[in-house]
Amino acid sequence: MQQKTENRKNYVLDTNVLLHDPACIYSFKGNNVILPMVVLEELDSLKSREGLCGCQARQAVRELSKIVEGKAQQSIQDGIALTKNILLKIELNGYHNMPEFADELDLKKNDNRILLTTLSIRKREPENATILVSKDICMRLKAEALGLQAEDYENDRIVLDDLYRGHAQATLPSKDIDKIYDDGGLPCPKRIRLYPNQFLLIHAKDDPARSSLVRFNGEKLVPLQFENRSAWGLHPLNLEQKMAFELMMDDAVKFVSVTGGAGSGKTILATAVALEKVIEQRAYRKIVFVRPVVPAGDDIGFLPGNEEEKLRPWMGSFYDAFESLMYCGYNRKPRKNCSEDNVSVDSIIENFKSTGVIDMKTFTYMRGRTLADAIVIVDEAQETTPHIAKLMLTRAGQNSKFIFIGDPTDNQIDNALVDSRSNGLVYLVERLKESPLTGHVTLSQVERSPLARLAEKTL
């Protein structure tokens, strides 16, 4: 079934768009979505890889397979009609029709073959705007140099400057502050718009020296529950850490996201709360540490050993946090009987792992699993795509709590499929902020050391 082409645009998708969002085809309402044959070839070669890239490639192939199988009576070369008035086509390599660019672009490179195919489509259909969509800025620059219109995939991008921070400030009379503590809560003034589990730093209107940190529970402003508590010997060091600690300690908040720069305390807070909840309180059966493996060189599939041995180099942040908690590197208050023992951190963690108290995983092995009765910490969550972040959260079983931590700035992202505005961490923060099951805090203060604080501020 051929659809009318009036006012329709041709969106030619680069392979990295499908890797970023395997369901991206459905984001181009009322237009033609065209996949060059070389894109299918790249997906086919990537689908057997381990790690995030292979996972995303397999999911993209499954999405395309569902489309083709569901429209068996239609030809994908002529176009398959989808919902939202979308027409999906596979474009045979058309660069042979573009001899004028043969000397400028090396046809052995897949990117150049995609560019020439896009040029061929534009030449064949001058009445329709033809746009190349790519996550690769170099690809977009080359396209523009050739006179092509090129765009980034913007469907799930978040404006980082407007990212929800999880806390706000307001001025109220002292009598209202008293009501929060005397009556157990105060209806939130209509002029102050807050999301569930958002924190409010209140300054007393009639007493400049008085302030109070409270939380909005979805109905009213209430006092903090865990303000004077510690976890595994750790006490929050600043107001922002108090907020994150409050959310992590509250079992009613099933998803907690914490963003912040290096040394702000994300990992050690999450690790301390997890140890407290599992070992001391027995609120959960085990701790699951998860980290996306996004290397600068070879990925996890090329490292020697089994999954556990491959993961060890990537889990350094958890081992460092555990060591600080055991040997007083953070609050400078030694835990009892720890500083005198000559037991290595590695041996303690290995003992916890052997008894099932601690489990360490990568996203590669998460599909089909259910994580129940567990507190799950996802480190470096800014490396995930929105699709992978969603996949991780859908693993949640009964009595589970998920804590996503990371730094969503561009200089902390090694995954070529995402950036500061399109990664899975900021995606979850924005999409889930209205639910009473979730909470978020942005940490801005560096507490690791004065030197770390200096480096974070000035370099």
**Contact in structure between 39 and 92 (CB atoms under 8 Å):** no
Residue 411 CB burial class (10 angstroms; 0-12, 13-18, ≥19): exposed
Q: Considering the domain boundaries, does residue 415 fall inside one?
A: yes
CA distance 345 to 342: 9
**Contact in structure between 367 and 391 (CB atoms under 8 Å):** yes
Beta partners for residue 406, in sequence order: 259
Closest alpha carbon to 412 in 379, 438, 380, 364: 380
Q: Which amino acid does the sequence have at 60?
A: A
Give the Cα-Cα-Cα angle 58, 61, 66 (nearest 5 degrees): 125
Closest alpha carbon to 67 in 26, 96, 118, 39: 26
Q: Considering the domain boundaries, does residue 205 fall inside one?
A: no
Q: Considering the domain boundaries, does residue 188 fall inside one?
A: no
pLDDT for the residue numbered 282: 95
pLDDT in tens, the chain (459 residues): 444 455 799 999 999 999 988 989 999 999 999 999 999 999 999 988 876 788 888 989 999 998 888 776 788 878 899 999 999 999 986 656 665 666 677 778 899 899 989 998 998 899 999 999 999 999 999 999 989 999 999 876 666 557 899 999 999 999 999 999 999 999 999 899 999 999 999 999 999 899 999 999 999 999 999 999 999 989 999 999 999 999 999 999 999 999 998 889 999 999 999 999 999 999 999 999 998 765 433 344 444 555 566 666 668 788 888 888 887 545 545 554 444 456 778 888 888 988 999 998 877 667 678 899 999 999 999 988 888 899 889 999 999 999 999 999 877 888 877 888 889 999 999 999 999 999 999 999 887 777 777 776 776
pLDDT for the residue numbered 333: 52
Number of independent structural domains in the chain: 2
pLDDT for the residue numbered 299: 46
Give the domain-ending residue among 151, 173, 208.
151
Q: Tokens 């990664």 — which residue?
A: 423
Give the CATH number, domain containing residue 328: 3.40.50.300
Judge if 303 and 447 occupy the same domain.
Answer: yes
Backbone angles phi, psi at 307, to 5 degrees: -60, -45
pLDDT for the residue numbered 298: 38
**Contact in structure between 270 and 258 (CB atoms under 8 Å):** yes
**Contact in structure between 226 and 235 (CB atoms under 8 Å):** no
**Contact in structure between 344 and 253 (CB atoms under 8 Å):** no
Q: Considering the domain boundaries, does residue 284 fall inside one?
A: yes
Judge if 278 and 131 occupy the same domain.
Answer: no
Judge if 241 and 94 occupy the same domain.
Answer: no
Q: Cα 416 from chain centroid?
A: 14
Judge if 276 and 415 occupy the same domain.
Answer: yes
Torsion of CA 411, 22, 136, 118, to 10 degrees: -170
Q: Cα 300 from chain centroid?
A: 19
Task: Describe the crossing of helices 266-275 and 316-326 by its angle, rounded to 10 degrees.
Answer: 70
Q: Tokens 């991206």 — which residue?
A: 24
End-to-end CA distance of the chain: 58
Q: Considering the domain boundaries, does residue 221 fall inside one?
A: no
Q: Which uninterrupted H or E stretch holds 114?
A: helix 110-124
Tokens coding 400: 């589970």
pLDDT for the residue numbered 201: 96
Judge if 144 and 283 occupy the same domain.
Answer: no
Beta partners for residue 133, in sequence order: 13, 151
The verdict on pTM exceeding 0.85 is: no
Coil, helix or strand for 81? strand
Task: Describe the crossing of helices 110-124 and 37-46 by its angle, rounded to 10 degrees.
Answer: 150
CA distance 5 to 7: 6
Judge if 144 and 240 occupy the same domain.
Answer: no
Which domain, by its residues, includes 273?
233-458
Judge if 412 and 321 occupy the same domain.
Answer: yes
Q: Considering the domain boundaries, does residue 85 fall inside one?
A: yes
Give the domain-ending residue among 125, 151, 177.
151
Judge if 95 and 240 occupy the same domain.
Answer: no
pLDDT for the residue numbered 35: 95
Q: Considering the domain boundaries, does residue 96 fall inside one?
A: yes
Give the domain-ending residue among 121, 151, 181.
151
pLDDT for the residue numbered 330: 54
Q: Considering the domain boundaries, does residue 375 fall inside one?
A: yes
Closest alpha carbon to 46 in 33, 60, 57: 57
Judge if 147 and 247 occupy the same domain.
Answer: no
Judge if 137 and 272 occupy the same domain.
Answer: no
